[in-house]
């Protein structure tokens, strides 16, 4: 049986995640309204923004994508607005569970996909912070999450069972995971088959009871990617940051 990786390797991976999270801040400028993402890697981005606010006088306003990010941002003294108050954002920095060659994403492993998508769609550009394990040729090896209205989850599950080639599971089972907005999450085993994420997104969004799906199509403009030995920035051709 495969054991846990040595502590040194874990420390090295964490150090590179931190480096990638900080490197994503190279896109941040004073005066910006920022979407602040959710997850273990982008947490380092929020920490760095907080440091720059406190030590360098960086003048930014953040819109958090989860309650966890809101609490962290407030503890760091980052000024915050709701999305309704902020309107259009200059930039969102967030994580991803997968990204493909077109910079389309699967997100939602952390359960915040609906707020994450609304913030990203309100932004002039999006930067993703991820490690190279998230880079795939075709989306879908990571189970596709979707937020659903809690009272409708069984109907949505039955509908998705006719679309999804694999299992459709309620996250948390008998103790369902609750999103920040009180919804449930269904995780769908598509496997690496999602070659047309735009069409699949439209199909799933049309299902009654679906709040949103964790496909982020034509939204991401750059990926700051860590590997076992380095951190590099990938820019989407003809993207909003290229």
Give catalytic residue positions. 116
Task: Determine whether the annotation assigns residue 96 to a binding site.
Answer: yes
Does 107 count as an annotated binding residue?
yes
Q: Is 180 annotated as a binding residue?
A: no
Residue among 175, 41, 31 nearest 89 (CA): 31
Residue 39 annotated as binding site: yes
Q: Which residues contact 106 (CB under 8 A, 6 or more apart)?
A: 96, 97, 98, 99, 139, 140, 142, 144, 145, 194, 214, 215, 216
Pull the structure tokens for residue 49.
């923004």
* 236 is known to lie in a ligand binding site: no
Angle at 182 between CA 201 and CA 142, to 5 degrees: 40
User: Is 95 labelled a binding residue?
Assistant: yes
**Is 4 assigned a ligand-binding role in the annotation?**
no
What are the tokens at 76? Answer: 């760091």
Q: Is 202 annotated as a binding residue?
A: no
* 114 annotated to bind ligand: no
Q: Are strands 105-106 and 215-216 parallel, antiparallel or unpaired?
A: antiparallel
Would you say 88 and 34 are in contact if contact means Cβ atoms under 8 Å apart? no
Task: Tell whether 191 is in a known binding site.
Answer: no
CA distance 95 to 126: 10
- DSSP, collapsed to helix, strand or coil, labels residue 102 as coil
Binding-site annotation, residues for substrate: 38-41, 94-97, 107-110, 134
């Amino acid at each position: 049986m495969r054991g846990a990786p040595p502590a040194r390797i874990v420390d090295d991976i964490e150090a590179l995640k931190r480096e990638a999270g900080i490197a994503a801040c190279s896109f941040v400028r004073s005066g910006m309204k920022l979407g602040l993402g959710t997850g273990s890697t982008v947490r380092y981005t929020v920490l760095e923004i907080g440091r720059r606010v406190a030590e360098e006088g960086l003048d930014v306003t953040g819109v958090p994508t989860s309650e966890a990010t809101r609490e962290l941002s407030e503890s760091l003294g980052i000024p915050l607005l709701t999305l309704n108050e902020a309107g259009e954002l200059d930039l969102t920095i967030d994580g991803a569970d997968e990204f493909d060659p077109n910079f389309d994403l699967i997100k939602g492993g952390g359960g915040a996909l609906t707020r994450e998508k609304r913030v990203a769609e309100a932004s002039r550009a999006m930067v993703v912070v991820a490690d190279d394990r998230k880079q795939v040729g075709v989306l879908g090896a990571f189970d596709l999450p979707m937020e659903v209205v809690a009272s409708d989850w069984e109907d949505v599950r039955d509908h998705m069972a006719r679309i999804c080639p694999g299992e459709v599971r309620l996250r948390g089972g008998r103790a369902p995971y609750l999103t920040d907005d009180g919804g449930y999450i269904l995780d769908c085993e598509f496997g690496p088959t999602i070659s047309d994420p735009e069409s699949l997104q439209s199909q799933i969004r049309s299902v009654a009871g679906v709040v949103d799906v964790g496909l982020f199509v034509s939204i991401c403009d750059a990926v700051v990617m860590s590997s076992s030995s380095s951190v590099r920035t990938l820019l989407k051709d003809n993207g909003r940051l290229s």
